[in-house]
Structure 1
Amino acid sequence: MKHLLFTLFSLCAFTTKAQTFKNPESLFDPTPYGFSHSSSVSTPGEFVYISGQSGGLGKEHTLSNDFREQTQVALKNIVTVLDSYILKPENIMKITILIVDHSPEKLKIWNEEIRKVWKNKPFPASTLIPVPKLAIDGMQIEVDAIAFKSAK
């Protein structure tokens, strides 16, 4: 009997979805803002911690003066790191966004651009932090992420 229960438990453990995104109904709906209230991982695998990616383009780290362009590049840089692990944006469990001189217009731009990357919901858990300055003059946005790669 123990072996049967262990086998059933093992089958359930390996067939459950590794990632869960939750938006409790008693809280506001965060999906219009491009995030989920929480995310969790319940199976073995590998966490990938992605350092803050700026809007700097290429090895020269060329920064546009345009917030939208920097946002697009920062998200593209995140996707480049994900690609190196053979992961997709949907594997990201948590992101943190730092925006210099945050405003409603910048939030609108962020929401438009994140939807281009996360074409399929759910969105990751997210924190947006307004800041007065970032590491390099001219940087207007920085995004870091934690992704999860399921064990196969």
Structure 2
Amino acid sequence: MTMGIPTATTANEDDLKLTIVNPQNLYDPTPNGYSTAVIVPSRARVAYISGQGGQDRTGGLSPDFTVQVEQAYANLRNAIEGIGARLDQVAKLTIYVVDHDMSKLEVLTKNVKAMFGKALPAQTLVPVPKLAIDPMLFEVEAVVMLE
């Protein structure tokens, strides 16, 4: 761990901990629902979860952005738990937002904070003109540390 850099770590067993780093000389991203960097220990295995959209179990997709974001995060949680991992093992999220504008940030921040609490993963938001199918407005993928 580097001196002078405030960090927070998760409560994983056997020293397999993600280290969250938000250097003091950079903007504090935590109010916006992400961390600057997350270090995965060298002994850990890593899993990559494909983008999860806002489809429900039957493939239905609401036209509402907020509903899609909430469902996508529920789908992501199910995918993480489905590989035997916990939320505090998520190191990185990449989110894709169709026709992104600043009005969507509140919805995004609220959902990521509700899901991850203080163990905020590193995150990148990519504005896109469209996703895999026309009604999709949001997609989230994850990099997860496995024990």
TM tier, shorter chain? 0.7 to 0.9
Bigger helix share: 1
Is the aligned partner of 1:20 residue 2:19? yes
- Say if 2:98 and 2:129, in contact at 8 Å, map to a contact too: yes
Q: Distance in 2 between matches of 1:113 and 1:70?
A: 11
> Unaligned regions of 5+ residues in structure 2, if any?
1-12
Give the corresponding residue for 1:136: 133
Deviations 1:37-67 (A, max 9, x none): 0111124232110000001111x31110111
Equivalenced residues, count: 135
Q: 4+ residue runs of structure 1 moved beyond 2 angstroms?
A: 14-18
**What is the RMSD computed on CA atoms of the aligned residues?**
1.4
Match among 106, 109, 131 for residue 108 of structure 1: 106
Q: Distance in 1 between matches of 2:41 and 2:71?
A: 32
Query: Which shifted more, 42-51 or 26-35?
Result: 42-51
Q: Distance in 2 between matches of 1:140 and 1:32?
A: 23
SS for the counterpart of 1:75 is: helix
Is the aligned partner of 1:122 residue 2:119? yes
SS for the counterpart of 1:94 is: strand
TM-score, normalized by length of structure 1? 0.84
Match among 58, 62, 65 for residue 64 of structure 1: 62
1:70 maps to amino acid: Q
Max Rg structure: 1
Give the corresponding residue for 1:95: 93
Q: Distance in 2 between matches of 1:19 and 1:29?
A: 18
Give the corresponding residue for 1:7: none
SS for the counterpart of 1:122 is: coil
Q: Distance in 2 between matches of 1:143 and 1:127?
A: 10
Query: Which shifted more, 131-140 or 85-94?
Result: 85-94
Deviations 1:61-105 (A, max 9, x none): 111011111001110111001111222221100000000010111
- Say if 1:134 and 1:140, in contact at 8 Å, map to a contact too: yes
Query: Which shifted more, 76-85 or 37-46?
Result: 37-46
Give the corresponding residue for 1:73: 71
Give the corresponding residue for 2:52: 53
- Say if 2:16 and 2:43, in contact at 8 Å, map to a contact too: no
